């Protein structure tokens, strides 16, 4: 099991509802991924699941009351509020959602939420009619406005026999969303630290328009098979999140990946290199900065079979491949409305030499040289290391999380960006 939440502190609030029976498994799944979990049970929740059960699976004492003399001697509710990296309320009943939306602090759970600077997520769980009620929908809209994460709900048959939206998501679905929320929080902190170190003011990219490509492309061979690569899209998504956090207007053009869209980012999904090429050129002329981070397939099948290719008697299958359009070169070659253009060079040998050749040949403003042969960096990894090259300089960024690396890259790129660079002079 990958330790995606190592050392992360999750405060789980459980409110009253039949879905509380799933919370013990949720705690277990979070701990499997390395998280430390502490639990708050509301009075109503204790009618469905006991503190002893949650203490056994979490390995920590369970908090149930604002008025626990032992805990409050050390201001226990404030300690819990400060301790958490993320607060998750699951299940979140209609009642607790209403109280959170109106800033109430009339029990331990709502008090901790109000007293914490940590991000908060709620996983609604209630009857479908209660969920669809205008009051509940307005309360959820208020929480969204206040930057709460809303996990679900799912749809299906409910304990009362009704069918519709209102079911709490399953524990593994919630864990995946927790991982995304933690990643977004990490990106935000990385951006803040980068601003402090570089003395770049927060919101300094306001008014700048970025287009970023990410992920792999898929080139069909027949209705079943395709050519692709190992790109996960994590680096491009981290760049988009960092730019948006710094105040930029960001368009993210993504190949097929299993990643959530970063907050504040406009996402365009594509599959093939040709689709990415068309979307990229359309967005590039409306952008100030273009970053080509996608791992675009160099070739595609000359002819795509209309039916699944069958195995014949021969041990060989011959395919005719033709070149795909070079997206980053096409963007850099624009003579009008050309954006400041940054490429990525994913190489396995002689990395800096090949990257500098691409920088010159494709007439880019900057290029990120990325050694994808390293086992702890590049494709599918949560870490990366690059050397950022430009015409008369370079800067190496050591191995670090892709979220931290993205914040540094966006800052460096924005520092080198000049509106004068977007003229046709660069392409001469």
In tens, the pLDDT along 379-419 reads 657 788 899 999 888 899 888 888 888 988 999 999 888 76
- Choose the catalytic residue: 112, 160, 293, 368: 160
Nearest to 48 by CA among 100, 91, 107, 108: 91
Active site residue 293: no
Q: What angle do CA 403, 408, 414 make, to 5 degrees?
A: 125
How many helices (H) and strands (E) the chain has is answered by 14, 19
DSSP assigned state of 333? T
pLDDT at 71 over 80: no
- Which letter does DSSP use for residue 282 in this model? H
Average confidence (pLDDT) over 262-284: 94
Cα gap 103→195, rounded to integer Å:
31
Scan for tokens 């967005």, then name that residue. Answer: 283
Q: What is the C-alpha to C-alpha distance for residues 416 and 280, in angstroms, rounded to an integer?
A: 22
3-state SS class at 21:
helix
The answer to whether the predicted template modeling score (pTM) of the entire model surpasses 0.85 is no
DSSP 295: B
Task: Report the alpha-carbon distance of residue 285 to residue 287 in Å, rounded.
Answer: 6
Structure tokens at 273: 């290199």
Confidence at residue 318, expressed as pLDDT on a 0 to 100 scale: 86
pLDDT tens digits, 72-116: 444 456 788 889 999 999 999 999 999 999 999 989 999 999 999
Element (H, E) at 88: strand 86-92
- Look at the chain and count its residues: 428
Chain mean pLDDT for the chain: 87
**What's the token pair of residue 152?**
């679900």
CB atoms within 10 A of CB 196: 10
> Tens digits of per-residue pLDDT, 10-49?
999 999 989 999 999 999 999 999 999 999 999 999 999 9
Cα gap 264→247, rounded to integer Å: 9
Q: What is the DSSP string of 34-85?
A: T-EEEEEE-TTGGGTS-HHHHHHHHSSPPB--TT-HHHHTTTHHHHHHHH-S
Encode pLDDT of 165-214 as tens digits. 888 999 999 998 998 888 777 766 665 565 555 444 445 788 899 999 99
CB atoms within 10 A of CB 365: 23
Can you list the domains of the chain with their CATH numbers? 9-180 (3.40.50.1950), 200-427 (3.40.50.10300)
Cβ–Cβ under 8 Å, residues 255 and 247: no
């Amino acid at each position: 099991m990958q330790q995606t939440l190592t050392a992360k502190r999750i405060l789980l609030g459980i409110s009253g509802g039949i879905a509380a029976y799933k919370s013990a498994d949720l705690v277990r799944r979070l701990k499997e991924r390395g998280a430390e979990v502490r639990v708050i049970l509301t009075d109503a929740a204790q009618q469905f699941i006991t503190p002893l059960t949650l203490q056994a699976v979490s390995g920590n004492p369970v908090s149930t009351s604002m008025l626990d003399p032992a805990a409050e001697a050390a201001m226990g509710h404030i300690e819990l509020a400060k301790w958490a990296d993320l607060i998750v309320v699951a299940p979140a009943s209609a009642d607790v959602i209403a109280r959170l939306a109106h800033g109430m602090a009339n029990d331990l759970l709502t008090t901790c939420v109000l007293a914490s600077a940590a991000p908060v997520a709620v996983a609604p769980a209630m009857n479908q009619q209660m969920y669809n009620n205008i009051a509940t929908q307005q309360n959820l809209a208020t929480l969204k406005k206040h930057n709460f994460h809303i996990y679900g709900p799912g749809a299906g048959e409910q304990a009362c026999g009704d069918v519709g939206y209102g079911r709490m998501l399953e524990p593994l679905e919630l864990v995946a969303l927790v991982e995304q929320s933690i990643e977004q929080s990490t990106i935000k902190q990385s951006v803040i630290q980068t601003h402090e170190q570089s003395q770049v003011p927060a919101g300094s990219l306001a008014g700048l328009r970025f287009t970023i490509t990410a992920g792999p492309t898929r080139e069909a061979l027949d209705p079943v098979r395709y050519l692709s690569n190992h790109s996960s899209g994590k680096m491009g998504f981290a760049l988009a999140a960092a730019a948006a956090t710094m105040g930029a207007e960001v368009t993210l053009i993504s190949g097929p990946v299993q990643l959530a869209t970063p907050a504040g980012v406009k996402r365009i999904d594509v599959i093939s290199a040709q689709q990415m090429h068309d979307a990229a050129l359309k967005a590039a002329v409306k952008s100030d900065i273009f970053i080509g981070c996608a791992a675009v397939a160099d070739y595609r099948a000359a002819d795509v079979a209309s039916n699944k290719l069958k195995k014949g008697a021969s041990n060989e299958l011959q395919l005719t491949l033709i070149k795909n359009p070079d997206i980053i070169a096409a963007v850099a070659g624009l003579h009008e409305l050309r954006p400041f253009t940054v490429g990525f060079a994913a190489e396995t040998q002689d990395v800096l030499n090949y990257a500098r050749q691409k920088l010159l040949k494709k007439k880019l403003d900057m290029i990120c040289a990325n050694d994808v042969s390293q086992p702890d960096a590049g494709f599918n990894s949560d870490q990366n290391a690059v050397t950022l090259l430009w015409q008369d300089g370079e800067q190496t960024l050591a191995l670090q999380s892709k979220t931290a690396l993205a914040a540094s890259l966006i800052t460096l790129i924005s520092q080198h960006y000049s509106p004068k660079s977007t003229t046709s002079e660069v392409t001469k």
